[in-house]
Every structure is written in C-alpha cells, then in structure tokens.
Amino acid sequence: MSEPESGVTEVESVDDLDIAPEDGWNALYLDGEWVPAGEREEIPVENPATREPITSVPSGTEADVDEAMAVAERAQDAWAERPPQERAAVVSRACRLIEEYADDLATLFAVECGGVDLKAQFETQLAQGTMEVGAGLAMRDGGRRAESVTPGKENLLVREPAGVVGVITPWNFPLYLSSRVVAPAIALGNGVVLKPDENTPLTGGLVLAALFEAAGLPDGVLNVVPGYGDEIGDHFSAHPTPSVMSFTGSSEVGRRVGERAVGQFTEPALELGGNNAHVVLSDADLERAVDAGAFGSFTHQGQECISINRHLVHESLYDEYVTALADRAGALPIGDPLEEGTLVGPVINESQRDKIVGLIEESVAAGATVEAGGDYDDLFVEPTVLSDVTNEMPVAANEHFGPVAPVIPFETDEEAVRLANDTEYGLSGSVHSTDLSRARDVADAMETGMVHINDQPLNDEPHVAFGGVGASGMGRYNDEWILETLTTVKWISVQREPREYPY
C-alpha cells in the first residue's frame, strides 16, 4: 500500500483498499486521479460527537466542476459502448466491496455523520440493494418494436444513456443517497459528476469513488468534486453539460436547483423535504402504533426526509399514546455512536441543532407541553415528545428534521386526512388501524407519494418507486423509474416497402 502526495490511498488491488478515516482523503477525484488540494481552500471534516477533526478535503472550485463535466463527457461514449454485462459487473463488484468493508463504513458513518450502528446497518443494506438493482438495469435498457399506422413501416423505440448525470447529495444517508443514482447511472452507460454535501464528503463521495476505482471502473466515468454548496452549487446545477441533474435535499434549495437545471434543458430529478404524518385511527393497535412511532421519529435522530414529522392520534387514544411514546423516548440511550448500545447520536452540526431547538421553544411558547426530552447537550438533542400541539405550531408546520415527536389529536378520519394534507409537502406517511379497508381509505386520501399501513414512513426498497408530490419533489427513484430518468428514448422507423406520398 502506498500513499501519493494527495494523501489518498492508491488502490492497486481490492486487498489494498483502505477507507479508514485516518488514512487521509485530501483530494478531488477527477479522471481516475486523486488530485491534491494544492492552493484550494479546504473543508474540515469533524466528528459531531466529539468535535474532533477527522480530516479535510479540498473545497472544489467552479473550474473543478467544469473539468469534471468535461472529463465525464469525454469518457461517457466509450463507456456506453462497453457490453452491458461488463458495466453491470463493475457495479456488482462495488456492491460486494460495500459488504467486505462494512465495518470500516460503520466507523465512517459514526465519525462523519453521527450514525449509530443500527443506522450503519440500514445504510449499508440500502446501498447494496440499490447497487444490485442498478447493476440489473444494464441488461434492461433495450428498446422495443411498435406497430405503425403506415403500411410497410417498422417502428423501433431504442433506449440510450442520457449522457452525463450531475448528482448533488445530502449528509444524512450519504453513501446510499449517492449510490442510488451513481450505480444505475453507471450501469446504464452514463458519465457521472458527484458533489457530496460538505458535511459528509467521505461517505457521500470520495469513499464511493474509491470503491468504484477498486471495482475497475474506467477513468473519467465517475468524478467527485467536494465543495460548499453556496460556492459551487449554483454553477453545478446550471451547468450546460449534464442531461440529468439529480438533487436530494431541502425543498428550498431543490426549487433553485430545478429552476437552474431546466434553464439549461437539463432534466431535474428532485427528492426534497417532507412533513410526514403518522396517523393513528381510533381502532389502532396502540402498542404497535407506538412501536412504529418511536422508530419513525427517533431513528438517526430524526434526520430523514421520510421520518415522522407529526403524530396524528385519535382523541380516544391520545393520552395513552403520548404517555407510552414519552416513556420510549426517555429510555433511548444517547451518546457517542462508537459506544456499544447507543441508539441516539448527535445531530450533524450547530445549525441543525439550533433549528430543532428553536422550533421546540417556539412551539412551547405557543402552548405545547414537553412530555419527554426538550433539552440538549452540545450536538446531542434529547428525543422529545410534545403534547397539546396544533398543526399550526412551528414544530408541526415545518420540517424539523430532528428527534422530535409532536402529537396532535383529531376527532374523525376526515379531520385526520385534512390535518395530514395541510402542508405543502407530500413525501410519505403512515396509517394505523385494525380495519385494513378503513386504513386504505385514509391512505388513498393522503396526498403523498408513499403511504405505509400499520408501519411508519421510514421505508425504502430498491425495487419500489420512491418519491413525492408537491414541495417534496418530482420524479421517482429506484429500478424501472430511475431507468426512465437516466435514459432517453429514440424513435427509429424503417420504411421497408415503398410508400406512396400525396405529391
């Protein structure tokens, strides 16, 4: 194993791959080369649990984005010409490497984004799943024959790679949310330029580059440019080269990304914020609903777009539900994700903590009651349960993205639906009832892209369509739905017999 000047491990074989944080990651990944920071500013990467520095990475510039786009464009044609089974094999090898290096990845999730072991298991499984499905898409991108209204004509609908795919990903599930676009894009013959979030440049980008490099991906097909969103984000999303711009993040930023992409005739794929309702009907199994409610609110400190943002509970079950959920919240072990048994780690940074705490305090001032939690220590925000909440209070009206469970009562199923839909978001949701027909009626009336009956919203399966409506985004990820986004359809007709024209 050798170390280049950039401080990034040179991978000569799979056995030489080392993704431990202390091995140094101070480089961009461009055209198959680890490019040192040089005179660029650097982004410090800090452990949110201890505030200790892990490493630093280059802060990419607009010129770096331009170079990455040009490199991906040059490499894409040759890559698309490779046999589909060869492209699939590279993605499959990267998938196997995730399993092989699961322990190293778990450490990185802990020290870079505050992910506990349970979260690490979820994320590695999700990343593997999306790579397995993505690899399979390489053999499913063929076209089809269609009948013609013109005698003697044959219609062929041929699928081709979109070209260059731009990818901007967030910090909460960085490896998975990058993989779910990068893996199928590569399998389908596209070139990719990835900008991971500045909070998680390792698991969100550079580690993925190392995995694909070790898997044998040709130079230039995948390029990774870490950088601050407010410095290069607009240039990235408005770049004229990509045919597709994938963004996962807040609705506010996503709107801007989408507008700038469309201005370049680039297709946007946007998975944005959520204000997901967990609806507990009067005939629900209370214990089951509380189990799901605790998991859906407090997993990874509530830092998921599909976590529960509001608990809507029928008034007949309200008091019992609040008490049981508060008991669960108060019993959850909080601490350093590297410590065994920890279920709640730190939130990602001060900005996120201040937002969460501010929404709690504003809601308490408006009349909400703290039943559990409500306090914090540095970046450790206590799992918090609030009662006496209304749908208009800040913690319910906004996506809080933290370990907070506002509980709101309702009288009728119709009122529950009205409350659930009283938001600009429409990503996910859940309904609990022992009457599946009744639950289905409520689920059908909820204006969301996804609803889960007798479960909670925190669900994602790599072969099932994932996405929202309204301010929660546009387009769908996973399997055949992401294939539609990452390819284009060309109509080729063949006039096999002479055709008569009117003049």
Q: Annotated catalytic sites, by residue? A: 271, 305
Cβ atoms 63, 103 nearer than 8 A: no
Of all helices (H) and strands (E), which one includes residue 173? none
What does the block give as tokens for 352?
Answer: 């996120």
User: 253 with 225: CB under 8 angstroms?
Assistant: no
- Collapsing DSSP states into helix, strand and coil, what is residue 281? coil
Three-state DSSP at 313 gives strand
> What does each C-alpha distance from 248 to 99, 258, 473 come to in angstroms?
25, 11, 9
Q: Are 227 and 30 in contact (CB under 8 A)?
A: no
Under 8 Å between Cβ of 264 and 163? no
CA distances 303 to 87, 278, 418, Å, are 34, 16, 25
Q: What does the angle CA 146 – CA 151 – CA 154 come to, to the nearest 5 degrees?
A: 30
167: left (phi over 0), alpha (psi -120 to 50) or beta: beta
Please give the sequence-ordered ranges of beta strands (E in DSSP) within 294-444, or none if there are none: 308-314, 369-372, 376-377, 380-381, 384-387, 404-410, 425-426, 429-432
28 phi and psi angles, rounded to 5 deg: -90, 160
- Phi, psi dihedral angles at 227 (to 5 degrees): 175, 160
From CA 348, how far away is CA 200, in angstroms rounded? 10
